[in-house]
Amino acid sequence: MLFDPLARLGRAGLGVLERLGRAHRLLLAILLGSAEVLLRPRLLIAQLYNIGVLSVLIISVSGLFVGMVLGLQGHYVLARFGAVESLGLMVAASLVRELGPVVTALLVAGRAGSALSAEIGLMKATEQLAGLELMAVDPVRRILAPRFYGGVLAMPLLAAIFSAVGVLGGFFVGVGLLGVDAGAFWSQMQNQVDFREDIVNGVIKSLVFGVVVTWIALFQGHDCVPTSEGVSRATTRTVVLGALAVLGLDFILTALMFGD
């Protein structure tokens, strides 16, 4: 009786470790199945459509609003220091370094990630995955690998669209509404935003987020209890764990990249 809580804790810990182990084994299997994606590019195209094309609208609208808010808020703060010329720099740097990759990853986890989990979970619940297995078709290669690469490839492109639209949104608000000088807006931005330091690092971030978010989504779907409740739990978990992983990893990546 006395050790009951301790035993529960231990069991929970072991459960987490076991899930982590299964998740890594799945990732390994997906990576080993990569050749399938190259041999059948059509599978990848379908997934780029599901994850990428279908997310473009929400990504660009969100990017526009985030950029516009950055323009307003940035102007408010910078005006106090008489440095409104740096508005372009502020908007672009925050988007390219942080908000672009992070908000895109959160949105993709919510829209495409949950859809992936539900799709895989339902395929498991309706024995479609087992059916493929018995047709001697490896579902990891045939179903999971194209979705994985679709997510990994779509993420940086979506993040770039988000940032680009956001910069334009900031430009409209800053230059169009608040009267910042257009030349200063662009030149400050161009002087201070570095290609390698900011843009390349931002792309690396969103690639990492793409791997993690898609991986979590596929694992939750593949590992779910094959019932309707299990599938709904899996989609919730994908969004929650995906968001946590993105934010946590963002801190680590930022510290590694910019924390000197």
Residue 163 near residue 233 (C-beta atoms within 8 A): no
**Distance of alpha carbon 215 from alpha carbon 229, whole angstroms:** 21
Going from the C-alpha of 235 to that of each of 9, 44, 155, 223, 251, the distances in angstroms are: 25, 22, 19, 11, 25
Stretch touching other proteins by CB under 8 A, among 11-19, 156-164, 208-216, 241-249 = 156-164
Residue 165 contacts other proteins per CB under 8 A: yes
Q: Which is nearer to other proteins, 191 or 228 (CB)?
A: 191
Give the footprint of other proteins on residues 191-250 (CB under 8 A).
191-195, 198-199, 203
Smallest separation (angstroms) from other proteins to the CB of 54: 9
Total number of residues that touch other proteins (CB under 8 A): 47
Residue 57 near residue 162 (C-beta atoms within 8 A): no
Tokens of 101: 């990759």
Smallest separation (angstroms) from other proteins to the CB of 187: 8
Contacting residues for 246 by C-beta, under 8 A, at least 6 apart: 102, 105, 106, 109, 209, 212, 213
Q: Which residue among 26, 43, 48, 118 contacts other proteins (CB under 8 A)?
A: 48
Residue 1 contacts other proteins per CB under 8 A: no
Q: Which is nearer to other proteins, 18 or 194 (CB)?
A: 194
Stretch touching other proteins by CB under 8 A, among 15-23, 49-57, 69-77, 236-244 = 49-57
Q: What is the DSSP string of 162-176?
A: HHHHHHHHHHIIIII
Residue 142 contacts other proteins per CB under 8 A: yes
Give the footprint of other proteins on residues 52-81 (CB under 8 A).
52-53, 56, 81
Contact mark string toward other proteins, 20..39, x via CB under 8 A: --------------------
Residue 186 contacts other proteins per CB under 8 A: yes
Residue 146 near residue 50 (C-beta atoms within 8 A): no
Q: Which residue among 49, 65, 76, 258 contacts other proteins (CB under 8 A)?
A: 49
Smallest separation (angstroms) from other proteins to the CB of 188: 10
Stretch touching other proteins by CB under 8 A, among 1-9, 10-18, 71-79, 185-193 = 185-193
Going from the C-alpha of 203 to that of each of 161, 162, 176, 239, the distances in angstroms are: 11, 12, 29, 22
Residue 134 contacts other proteins per CB under 8 A: yes
Residue burial 55-72, b: 16+ Cβ < 10 Å; e: rest: beebbbebbbebbbbbbe
